[in-house]
């Protein structure tokens, strides 16, 4: 007790009556106020949430014209200091908590409503004593201002502002109060899920409070509650003042039958164990050799910890409860994916066979939502034939009234493992009167796999259009893709008999089979770009073009690039970028130049205009069936009116510095990659198609990550050689 009195006396001796930031506050900008107010001020116990409201205000006319200065949160000032808190070292949001709490990050623009925060998020655990605190802000100024975007930088030399000062006192927390606080938080977090804003805020406050109680019973309670409010609870564990004890506890709990171990759990385990086992990183001013040595030890520590922890978790799978097992399976699946991406030369972990067995054995026991998530995690990365009967039974068990998300995930997983069986399932569903099948899934069934189905498909459409029928759009999409020219007379009769004028899927059939007839239908619309668009135009852009494209449809879409309604032009541009032939680049360039000429001397475009320019720019720069090379990108940059357009184009130009790079990657949909500014090309067919657009003699560096990508690299090199392109592997894969 005497020691506590001495400690309080010492802390009080550091506390003076004079406000330490009064001089700084006198230089605050005129008309701008930053306020800080404690909620329910009282004698706070160590680890108790110190809640406060902060707000800011500025003159109502400060945004017109745009201000050339602004203010950004720079940290918390506290007196006496608590390891941080003076002007030289204000307290930021602690790194562990900043990953789950975005409050106070960003620029303070305009007048804002008060926001409730806990000062604990910016402080280490405070010793008993009296304290004063204020928020510090740093001045921002405009470096670049385009018509529709602004780049801000810190004023140089630095200029600061400070909020009003709040005072509070902290006392020691006794065991009874800690136990009661933990019990109260657990009761709130263990109750029903929040369905109102009040309940949500209550749960969030309870999780935050529990995370501030840096005590063993709070640590164990947090782990027991997971995955509830995992961001806040794991942040509290990671920021503990006793990282060695928390590290051991989290390691010990990996194998606990009821412990939910998510990917975030593993990441925070690594964080807290590094704090316990590694020294602080060297300062940026330290010699490069010292920093390189530290980061090598950092990588080795991480690799060993993730490796050992993953092996422990995998060994515990059989003993895990069902919900905890689902979390563990998902975590281990993503661990394998991460290894394949970042350490492609490393052998597969020994525990992967056990993961596979446990996944297949346990999968049928999970609920539908969990099964869907697990399927999405393995699809495209793991070819496990044992799943085929499970997936087929899931598709067969579907009945009207069930959700559609799970059969969709099951079909895509089946297609990744056994594509022929997936195609057979789709063929079966095409003619069923009630089905889980949707138009998007038809992409998995090529037209070459369908024959002699004209009669069945037409009959399926007739059934769908009767009262109580099922998904006519699916039936029309199937006809658009698979019906032969022999069905043309009947298809014309069907089209002409429709009560609704817009039939984009039937129109796709005509575009594919009889473009002359489709052209007559398109020309039946009034192509008046100063009037409202034809009633069916946008549906043709979005749905017909995705099923079939021909010059007659491309000409129709291109005409609308000059329509008076911005959204119509945007949809037309996106459609041409995705589905148009190389000839579509010409009309897009024309529309882009027209935008430039129109706005060049007219001042600031509206936000709608900014988005239109970006959409036109993107359509030219990322078009699927033509190449926008460095010269094209530089021309785009010279024509850009808005800052967004300039910035995006400069980012694309960065890909053309030095050798062009091709990356082969495993996406969820299959092997694909990127080349130059074309960053997500799914499928080897589309990747080859893009490469074929580059001129002969172009040289690339090929980066293949993972065993499947490396296997595809041989195929890609052969293709490139046949097209006069040179592909070299990098000396070190990055």
Closest CA to 340 of 301, 381, 376: 381
* CB-facing half-sphere around the CA of 585: CA atoms within 13 A: 14
Question: Would you state the pLDDT for residue 709?
Answer: 79
Q: 60: pLDDT confidence band, cut at 50, 70 and 90?
A: low
Confidence check: pLDDT of 558 > 70: yes
> Is the separation of the CB atoms in 109 and 70 below 8 Å?
yes
Q: Give, rounded to a whole angstrom, the gap between the first and last alpha carbons of the chain.
A: 59
Among 143-147, 220-224, 573-577, the least confident range: 143-147
Average pLDDT over residues 463-468: 93
Instruction: Pick the range with the lowest mean pLDDT from 34-38, 149-153, 243-247, 551-555.
Output: 149-153
- pLDDT (0 to 100) of residue 471: 93
Instruction: Identify the residue with better confidence: 406 or 527.
Output: 406
- Residue 53 C-alpha from the chain's centroid: 30
CA nearest to 671, candidates 727, 711, 701, 699:
711
Q: What would the two tokens of residue 329 be?
A: 């399976």
**pLDDT for the residue numbered 283:** 86
The three-point CA angle 432-437-440 to 5° equals 140
Rounded Cα distance, 631 and 359, in Å: 51
Mean pLDDT on 554-582: 96
CB-based contacts of 9: which residues, under 8 Å, 6+ apart? none
Q: Do residues 265 and 230 make contact, with C-beta atoms less than 8 angstroms apart?
A: yes
Copy the structure tokens of residue 686.
């589309």
Mean pLDDT of the chain: 89
Distance CA 405, CA 391 (A): 13
Is the sign of the CA dihedral 504, 505, 508, 513 positive or negative? negative
Secondary structure, 3-state, 210-224: HHHCCCHHHHHHHHH
Question: The tokens 């494209």 sit on which residue?
Answer: 549
- Cβ neighbours of 682 (radius 10 Å): 16
The per-residue pLDDT for 149 is: 61
Q: In the predicted model, what is the mean pLDDT of residues 238-246?
A: 95
pLDDT at 681 over 70: yes
Q: Is the pLDDT of residue 242 over 60?
A: yes
The fold of the 2-171 domain, in CATH, is Coagulation Factor XIII; Chain A, domain 1 (2.70.50)
pLDDT of amino acid 396: 92
| The two structure tokens encoding residue 122 | 């910016």
Q: Which of 90-99, 368-377, 704-713 has the lowest mean pLDDT?
A: 90-99
Q: What pLDDT, on the 0 to 100 scale, is given for residue 102?
A: 43
Summarised one tens digit per residue, pLDDT across range 618-649 is: 999 999 999 999 999 999 999 999 999 999 99
CA distance 592 to 632: 12
pLDDT at residue number 732: 44
Pairwise pLDDT comparison (249 vs 95), residue with the higher score:
249
Task: Quote the pLDDT of residue 8.
Answer: 42
Q: Which of 398, 417, 402 is nearest to 359 (CA)?
A: 417
Q: Strand 129-145 to strand 69-79: parallel, antiparallel, or no bridges (unpaired)?
A: antiparallel
Percent of the chain with pLDDT strictly greater than 70: 92
Strands 660-667 and 699-704: parallel
Residue bearing tokens 């500025």: 58
Q: What is the pLDDT of residues 607-624, one digit of tens each?
A: 899 999 999 999 999 999
Q: How far is the C-alpha of 476 from the C-alpha of 554, rounded, in Å?
A: 21
Verdict on whether the full-model pTM lies above 0.85 = no
Give yes or no for residue 661 having a pLDDT over 60: yes
* DSSP H or E segment with residue 663: strand 660-667
User: Residues, the chain, total?
Assistant: 734
Angle between helix 197-212 and 216-225 (nearest 10): 140
What pLDDT score was predicted for residue 95?
62
Q: What is the pLDDT of residue 704?
A: 84
What pLDDT is recorded for position 312?
Answer: 98
**Is the Cβ–Cβ distance between 93 and 78 less than 8 Å?**
no
Sheet order of strands, 33-38 included: 33-38, 51-57, 115-118
Element containing residue 304 per DSSP (H, E):
helix 288-315
Q: Are 265 and 254 in contact (CB under 8 A)?
A: no
Q: How far apart are CA 476 and CA 508, in angstroms?
A: 9
Give the Cα separation of 261 and 246 in Å (integer).
15
Token pair of 571 as six digits:
């949809």
Cross-strand partners of 670: 667
pLDDT at 4 over 70: no
For the beta sheet containing 678-682, the strands, ordered from the edge strand earlier in sequence to the opposite edge, are 678-682, 670-675, 660-667, 699-704, 726-728
59 falls in which pLDDT band (50, 70, 90)?
A: low
pLDDT of residue 406 exceeding 80: yes
What residue ranges in 186-241 does DSSP mark as E strands? none
Per-residue pLDDT for 428 more than 90?
A: yes
Query: What pLDDT does residue 146 have?
Result: 60
């Amino acid at each position: 007790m005497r020691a506590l009195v001495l400690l309080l006396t010492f802390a009080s001796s550091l506390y003076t009556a004079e406000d330490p930031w009064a001089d700084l506050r006198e230089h605050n900008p005129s008309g701008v106020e930053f306020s800080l107010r404690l909620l329910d001020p009282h004698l706070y116990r160590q680890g108790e949430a110190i809640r406060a409201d902060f707000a800011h205000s500025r003159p109502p006319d400060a945004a017109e014209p745009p201000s050339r200065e602004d203010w950004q949160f720079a940290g918390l000032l506290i007196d006496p200091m608590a390891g941080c808190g003076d002007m030289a070292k204000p307290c930021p949001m602690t790194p562990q908590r900043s990953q789950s709490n975005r409050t106070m990050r960003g620029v303070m623009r305009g007048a804002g409503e008060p926001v409730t925060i806990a000062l604990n998020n910016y402080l280490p655990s405070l010793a008993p004593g009296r304290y004063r605190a204020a928020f510090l802000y740093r001045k921002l100024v405009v470096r670049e201002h385009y018509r529709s975007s602004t780049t801000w930088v810190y004023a140089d030399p630095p200029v600061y502002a400070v909020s009003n000062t709040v005072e509070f006192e902290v006392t020691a927390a006794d065991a009874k109060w800690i136990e009661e606080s933990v019990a109260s938080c657990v009761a709130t977090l263990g109750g029903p899920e929040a369905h109102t804003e009040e309940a949500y805020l209550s749960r969030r406050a309870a999780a935050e409070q529990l995370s501030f109680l840096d005590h063993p019973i709070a640590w164990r309670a947090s782990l027991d509650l997971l995955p509830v409010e995992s961001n806040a609870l794991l942040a509290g564990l990671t920021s503990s003042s006793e990282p060695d004890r928390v590290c051991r506890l989290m390691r010990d709990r990996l194998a606990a039958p009821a412990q939910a171990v998510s990917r975030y759990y593993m990441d925070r385990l690594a964080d807290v164990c590094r704090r316990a086992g590694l020294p602080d990183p060297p300062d940026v001013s330290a010699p490069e050799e010292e920093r390189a040595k530290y980061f090598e030890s950092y990588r080795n520590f991480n690799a060993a910890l993730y490796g050992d922890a993953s092996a422990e978790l995998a060994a515990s799978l059989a003993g895990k409860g069902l919900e905890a097992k689902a979390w563990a399976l998902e975590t281990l699946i993503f661990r394998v994916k991460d290894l394949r991406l970042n350490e492609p030369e490393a052998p597969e972990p020994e525990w992967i066979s056990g993961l596979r067995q446990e996944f297949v054995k346990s999968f049928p026991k999970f609920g539908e939502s969990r099964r869907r998530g697990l399927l999405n995690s393995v699809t495209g990365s793991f070819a496990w034939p044992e799943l085929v009967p499970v997936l087929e039974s899931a598709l067969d068990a579907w009945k009207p009234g069930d959700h559609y998300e799970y059969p969709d995930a099951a079909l895509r997983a089946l297609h990744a493992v056994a594509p022929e069986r997936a195609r057979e399932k789709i063929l079966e569903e095409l003619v069923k009167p009630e089905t889980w099948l949707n138009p998007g899934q038809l992409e998995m069934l090529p037209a070459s796999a369908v024959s002699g189905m004209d009669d069945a498909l037409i009959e399926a459409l007739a059934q769908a259009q009767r009262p109580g029928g099922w998904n006519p759009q699916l039936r029309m999409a199937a006809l658009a893709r698979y019906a032969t020219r022999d069905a043309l007379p009947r298809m014309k009769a069907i089209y002409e008999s429709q009560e609704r004028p817009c039939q984009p899927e039937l129109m796709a059939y005509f575009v594919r089979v009889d473009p002359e007839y489709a052209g007559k239908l398109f020309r039946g619309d009034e192509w008046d770009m100063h009037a409202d668009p034809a009633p069916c135009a946008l549906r043709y852009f979005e749905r017909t073009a995705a099923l079939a494209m021909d010059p007659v449809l491309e000409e129709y879409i291109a005409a609308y690039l000059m329509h008076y309604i911005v959204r119509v032009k945007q949809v037309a541009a996106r459609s041409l970028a995705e589905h148009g032939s190389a000839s579509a680049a010409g009309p897009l360039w024309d529309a882009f130049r027209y935008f430039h000429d129109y706005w060049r001397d007219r001042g600031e475009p509206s936000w709608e205009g900014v988005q239109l320019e970006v959409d036109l720019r993107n359509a030219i720069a990322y078009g699927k069936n033509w190449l926008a090379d460095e010269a094209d990108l530089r021309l785009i940059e010279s024509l850009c009116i808005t800052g967004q357009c300039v910035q995006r184009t400069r980012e694309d130009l960065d890909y053309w510095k030095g050798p062009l790079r091709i990356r082969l990657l495993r996406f969820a949909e299959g092997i694909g990659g990127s080349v130059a500014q074309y960053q997500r090309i799914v499928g080897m067919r589309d990747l080859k198609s893009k490469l074929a657009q580059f001129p002969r003699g172009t040289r690339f560096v090929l980066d293949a990550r993972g065993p499947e990508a490396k296997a595809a690299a041989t195929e890609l090199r052969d293709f490139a050689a046949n097209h006069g392109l040179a592909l070299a592997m990098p000396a070190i894969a990055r």
